[in-house]
């Protein structure tokens, strides 16, 4: 047996050990990804349908029709009467809007 062939044969167990370690790391990474607990989905936000009766003789201005306050208790919108725009605020518990002057 020649020296180079003996050297190649002695490297075979090392090569298999490295390959086995790589396979084990890939299997551990795959198991970590697939077996971890799923992240719970956020519940859907409830949808609300609101009818805004406008003051007599007014129409909604073009653009966003209405916005809801950050706390969800009021609605603000811009309506026009005779070409003059007016900002209105309405609490969700009230039936009548009040103009801001």
Number of domains the chain contains: 2
Average pLDDT, stretch 57-70?
A: 80
On whether both 2 and 33 belong to a single domain, the answer is: yes
Instruction: Find the domain containing 92 and state its range.
Output: 59-99
Strands 59-60, 84-91: pairing is unpaired
pLDDT exceeds cutoff 60 at 37: yes
52 domain-assigned: no
Residue 53 is predicted with a pLDDT of 76
Residue 94, in any domain of the structure:
yes
Report the alpha-carbon distance of residue 68 to residue 49 in Å, rounded. Answer: 12
Whether residue 47 is contained in a domain is answered as: no
10 domain-assigned = yes
Query: What pLDDT does residue 25 have?
Result: 94
Is residue 43 assigned to a domain? no
Same domain, 31 and 64: no
**Burial track 64-100 (b if 16+ CB lie within 10 A, e otherwise):** eeeeeeeeeebbebbbeeeeeebebebeeeeeebeee
Question: Model-level pTM greater than 0.85?
Answer: no
- At 26 the pLDDT is 94
Residue 38 has pLDDT above 70, yes or no: yes
Asked if residue 68 belongs to a domain, the reply is: yes
Query: How confident is the model over 13-41, as a mean pLDDT?
Result: 86
Residue 75 domain flag: yes
Q: Identify the pLDDT of residue 21.
A: 93
Question: What is the Cα–Cα distance from 30 to 68, expressed in whole angstroms?
Answer: 46
Residues sharing a CB contact under 8 Å with residue 53, sequence separation 6 or more, in sequence order: 95
Q: How would residue 23 be classed by pLDDT, with cut points 50, 70 and 90?
A: very high
Residue 53 in any domain: the answer is no
């Amino acid at each position: 047996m020649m020296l180079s062939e003996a050297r190649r044969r002695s490297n075979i167990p090392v090569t298999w050990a490295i390959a086995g370690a790589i396979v084990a790391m890939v299997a551990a990474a795959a198991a970590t990804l697939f077996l971890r607990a799923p992240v719970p989905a956020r519940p859907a936000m409830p949808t609300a349908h609101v009818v805004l009766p406008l003051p007599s003789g007014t129409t909604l201005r073009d653009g966003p029709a209405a916005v809801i306050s950050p706390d969800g208790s009021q609605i603000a919108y811009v309506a026009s009467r005779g070409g003059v725009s007016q900002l209105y605020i309405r609490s969700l518990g009230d039936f009548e809007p009040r103009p801001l002057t």
